[in-house]
């Protein structure tokens, strides 16, 4: 995390109470977090949200409540988010069309065959307006 403005040295906190001089936090869970940054004047912290993203490479949409969904709903804090999943021939099987960014491994209500699919995940960082892109594979394992 880079900070500018205000009066250095800066202090950082994840709860607004316990501050540290390092801007590095480890052991954070997946999801949206807030960081509080205080300048040397210790007046009012600046609060920014950030995301710890866990790229998912397998789902088992069998209804057991474990790994049933491709869930990138935390991306709602980003801008211009798009998710596309294609089969091995490049035919689209999922495109994000709402702000939930959750997919159940189905096309038109029907489960896809067990196999490896390919995804592209893109968004724009709200503060910097820089584009971010990830691509890779995802295994869908269905009962057959």
Express each pLDDT in 59-99 by its tens digit. 999 889 999 999 999 999 999 999 999 999 999 999 998 88
Burial track 6-28 (b if 16+ CB lie within 10 A, e otherwise): eeeebbbbeeeeebeeeeeeeee
Q: Which CATH code, of 1.25.40, 3.20.20, 2.60.310, 2.60.40, is assigned to 54-140?
A: 2.60.40
Q: For 104-139, how does the pLDDT look when each residue is reduced to its tens digit (9 = 90+)?
A: 999 999 999 999 999 999 999 998 999 999 999 999
In this structure, the strands spanning 131-140 and 58-59 are parallel
Domain locations in the chain as residue ranges:
11-51, 54-140
How many residues does this entry show for the chain?
144
Question: Is pLDDT above 90 for 4?
Answer: no
pTM equals 0.83
The token duo for 103 is 């997919």
User: Would you say residue 32 has pLDDT above 80?
Assistant: yes
User: How far is CA 42 from its chain centroid?
Assistant: 31
């Amino acid at each position: 995390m880079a900070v500018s403005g205000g009066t250095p040295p800066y202090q950082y906190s994840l709860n607004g109470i316990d501050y540290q001089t390092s801007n590095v936090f480890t052991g954070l869970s997946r999801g949206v977090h807030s960081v509080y940054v205080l300048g040397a004047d210790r007046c009012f912290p600046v609060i920014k949200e950030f995301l710890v993203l866990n790229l998912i490479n397998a789902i088992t949409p069998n209804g057991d409540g474990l790994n049933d969904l491709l869930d990138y709903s935390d991306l709602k804090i980003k801008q211009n988010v798009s998710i596309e999943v294609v089969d091995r021939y490049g035919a689209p099987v999922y495109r994000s069309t709402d702000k939930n960014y959750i997919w159940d491994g189905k096309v038109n209500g029907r489960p896809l065959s067990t196999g490896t699919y390919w995804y592209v995940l893109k968004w724009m960082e709200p503060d910097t307006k820089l584009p971010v892109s990830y691509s890779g594979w995802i295994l869908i394992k269905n009962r057959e």
